[in-house]
Amino acid sequence: MLDRILEDLRLRVFQDSKGAPTDGDPRSQTIFERMAEKLLEGPSRAEIAEAKAGQRLPSTWTRQWKAYVAKCLASIDRRSELRDGNNQPRVTRVYNKIHALQHVELADWQGRPRARIVFNGADVVEVLLTDLRGKQERHTQQSFALSAKACPKESFQRARLACVPLLDAARAEGVVQSLEELCREVFPRLDMLFKRELDEGRQFVPCAEDLEEMSFEVLLDELEKLISQG
């Protein structure tokens, strides 16, 4: 299952880079392949033990996620009595068959969707924001922690641990999310460096052959250094 997830992700990552400086650059392909190979390796005992322990996020990020959710809910609650230009409620609460809150939606004064808070029981599992152009931004506890960290080594380790218990389709969504966050952290910044190479006429990212010969630990160190420059 993991190999299929990685292949789907590879196609999406490089489809999104069409026309970008990374388009067709063998270095970005090599970096993705090295990460994929490492993810497909059998996990160490320490990684299995950590995954079985529950993959708990650091309490700092848990607290920050809860504070972020509380802020979003408070913002929506303040608008719960407002109506849009068509006299429709701007805040809508949707319940499931057993009358449990499924999600809360906020529209702007023109009736356009702006936010959706998704619940699983009493817990918020997703915050979906929509800007005026219709572009959506999805936040979960896992993605919140990953994006806040902004560190390739730690993001890779989180993605690695997310892959360990991938035994059935129920785990797939969380794994895909972790891998997507890792790619969003690495490849857009590589794009910036490749553009600088074209603009400034000098090389920042090592050639594909050098990237291929590095140990994986050295490759991660190199990514840390490169991203700090990007």
pLDDT in tens, 156-176: 777 777 776 554 445 566 677
One domain for residues 100 and 127: yes
Tell me what pLDDT residue 94 has: 96
Question: Domain span at residue 202?
Answer: 2-54+160-229
Cβ atoms within 10 A of the Cβ of 27, count? 20
Instruction: Report yes or no on 125 lying in a domain.
Output: yes
Split into its structural domains, the chain has a count of: 2
| Closest to 124 measured CA to CA, from 98, 138, 103 | 103
- Could you identify the residue written with the tokens 């608008």? 79
Instruction: Report yes or no on 146 lying in a domain.
Output: no
Say if residues 74 and 67 touch (Cβ distance below 8 Å).
Answer: no
One domain for residues 88 and 48: no
Tell me what pLDDT residue 168 has: 46
Is the model's pLDDT at 149 over the cut of 60? no
Q: Find residue 137's DSSP bridge partners.
A: 129
Is the model's pLDDT at 16 over the cut of 70? no
Tell me what pLDDT residue 50 has: 60
Q: Which residue has the higher pLDDT, 185 or 110?
A: 110
What mean pLDDT is predicted for residues 31-58? Answer: 70
Average pLDDT, rounded, for the chain: 81
Is the model's pLDDT at 113 over the cut of 60? yes
One domain for residues 169 and 131: no
CA gap 139, 85 in Å, rounded: 29
> With pLDDT > 70 as the criterion, what percentage of the chain qualifies?
78
Instruction: Report yes or no on 155 lying in a domain.
Output: no
- 68-100: pLDDT as tens digits: 899 999 999 999 999 999 999 999 999 999 899
CA gap 25, 21 in Å, rounded: 8
Instruction: Report yes or no on 153 lying in a domain.
Output: no
Instruction: Report yes or no on 148 lying in a domain.
Output: no
Q: Find residue 123's DSSP bridge partners.
A: 120
- Could you identify the residue written with the tokens 């789907």? 8
Instruction: Report yes or no on 183 lying in a domain.
Output: yes
Sheet holding 91-95, edge to edge: 91-95, 101-107, 113-120, 123-130, 136-139
Tokens of 115: 């936010």
Residues in the chain: 230
The answer to whether the predicted template modeling score (pTM) of the entire model surpasses 0.75 is no
Tell me what pLDDT residue 76 has: 95
Instruction: Report yes or no on 151 lying in a domain.
Output: no
CA gap 162, 174 in Å, rounded: 7
Tell me what pLDDT residue 24 has: 72
Instruction: Report yes or no on 147 lying in a domain.
Output: no
Distances (CA, A) of 39 to 24, 45, 56, 124, 187: 23, 15, 19, 29, 17
Tell me what pLDDT residue 108 has: 95
Quick one: which H or E segment has residue 179? Answer: helix 172-200
Is the model's pLDDT at 106 over the cut of 50? yes
